[in-house]
Structure 1
């Protein structure tokens, strides 16, 4: 990117790249978990990205149970708004701490989610609406220069999640965040076509378990899917302890694993 393009871009920073249990898993002494405990190459907090753009304020996608440590690592003392993909604990477990921050600072946060996701959150945390304003997504959002479309995607045995597509129509740019999905239908795949950047969840390199017991694509399935979707670049996140970042994997061109702290300009 030129300096002018960078000034107009949004920086996506990966604060977390792990699956629902993170790495290391507390019960596990596999080589990946042991390495994560020592040198930390494979240490992964629950998946979350930060969008750095002056038009957006401090904006995150999801707010999992590692949120406090992730905020501290980023040196941030304020969070303006989040987008929520779904109401599983690894994606909303930090909401209570965020609400407490809002209470003490007197600055209410904004959480955008589909109405069914908001209902689930308020059922689990019935008091949380005093400090966080929940805004239902009932059509496209406009956040700064980005039009944001949200749609339901299959999450396998875990039901469903939502994905987000960001489109800068004036500049002809688009990218999407789809962290928890598997066996997407043709309709669900359409918004993921021909992106500048796709962020996709892949928990295993080749998951050995029956399809009906699974909830997220593996890397080999993602590679086949990308031949159809044709994004310019892809970043794989939501990784379990099956993925060893010390290894060389036969990834397609323009595909890479997310690293904690990685920044991508779009």
Structure 2
């Protein structure tokens, strides 16, 4: 299994458009980027590839990374920075199967699969396939499982992808309160991609503060929707991840922390 991190940033990415903060300036000076979130997973046995989330930066990501266009895609939730790249399917694909959860979101009254189908009903090249959380299914010769996480107010899912000898776990957008059954499914990965939008110190400046405090009083959730860096690292320890990369990070990291390990940047590639 070959995993390429096409997009490792949050909803605005780093550098952020129009921003000259120290972190965005440092990113430009270093020539690194964190575009909106997307992961390319290639099954080297079948030479097929699955795209996890379709970033609005789809075109740029596929022009700047040496990866094949996907044979299928999976959408974790309906926020624009994870789904709006599907518009690139126009004239690029003859057919693109897209997988998403089929359970109804009480907030929207429809599932992620239905929401994506409604938004892209004009794209006859995209075919939506609803799948039940916790029930594994095969795509591109890989076993794929959607696991519910906590990203209020919308439903959102993490992803577990397994081959005969490798396991990739992706938390998706979530706070630290991931349900126990989902944590069990995510556990023991060869590679964990854990969202870590900001360091815990940033909670002091948010109106909602933080949540899921550890025994030292450090918040593992930023406000209500996302994990802090400290929360993501605590989760990685709990899940016993062999390797962890922190993704979906914001430009609000202080410049002297923004490029420290294990924070990921676009273009990283891992062979599991």
TM-score bracket for the superposition, by shorter chain length = 0.7 to 0.9
1:195 maps onto 2:189 in alignment: yes
Specify the alignment match of 1:225 in structure 2. Answer: 235
Rounded to whole Å, the distance in 1 between the matches of 2:158 and 2:258 is: 29
* SS of alignment partner, residue 197 of structure 2: coil
Deviation at 1:174, TM superposition (A): 2.0
In structure 2, do the counterparts of structure 1 residues 248 and 47 end up closer, same or farther at CA, with 3 Å as the change threshold? Answer: closer
Contact 1:236 1:258 in 2 (8 A): yes
Specify the alignment match of 1:7 in structure 2. Answer: none
Specify the alignment match of 1:179 in structure 2. Answer: 172
1:241 maps onto 2:236 in alignment: no
1:14 maps onto 2:10 in alignment: no
RMSD of aligned C-alpha atoms? 2.4
How do 1:1-266 and structure 2 match up within 5 A?
Answer: 10-41=1-32, 43-54=33-44, 55=46, 57-74=48-65, 78-102=69-93, 107-115=94-102, 116-128=111-123, 130-138=124-132, 139-156=135-152, 158-168=153-163, 170-171=164-165, 173-182=166-175, 183-206=177-200, 207-208=202-203, 209=206, 210-211=209-210, 213-243=223-253, 247=257, 256-266=262-272
In structure 2, do the counterparts of structure 1 residues 149 and 248 end up closer, same or farther at CA, with 3 Å as the change threshold? Answer: closer
Contact 1:202 1:218 in 2 (8 A): yes
Contact 1:203 1:218 in 2 (8 A): yes
Contact 1:179 1:237 in 2 (8 A): no
Q: 5+ unaligned residues in a row in structure 1: which ranges?
A: 1-9
In structure 2, do the counterparts of structure 1 residues 59 and 144 end up closer, same or farther at CA, with 3 Å as the change threshold? Answer: closer
Deviation at 1:44, TM superposition (A): 1.2
| Higher helix residue share | 1
Rounded to whole Å, the distance in 2 between the matches of 1:262 and 1:51 is: 12
* SS of alignment partner, residue 160 of structure 1: coil
Deviation at 1:124, TM superposition (A): 2.1
* SS of alignment partner, residue 94 of structure 1: helix
TM-score norm. by structure 2 comes to 0.81
Contact 1:64 1:92 in 2 (8 A): yes
TM-score norm. by structure 1 comes to 0.82
Q: 5+ unaligned residues in a row in structure 2: which ranges?
A: 103-110, 212-222
Deviation at 1:148, TM superposition (A): 1.3
* SS of alignment partner, residue 228 of structure 1: helix
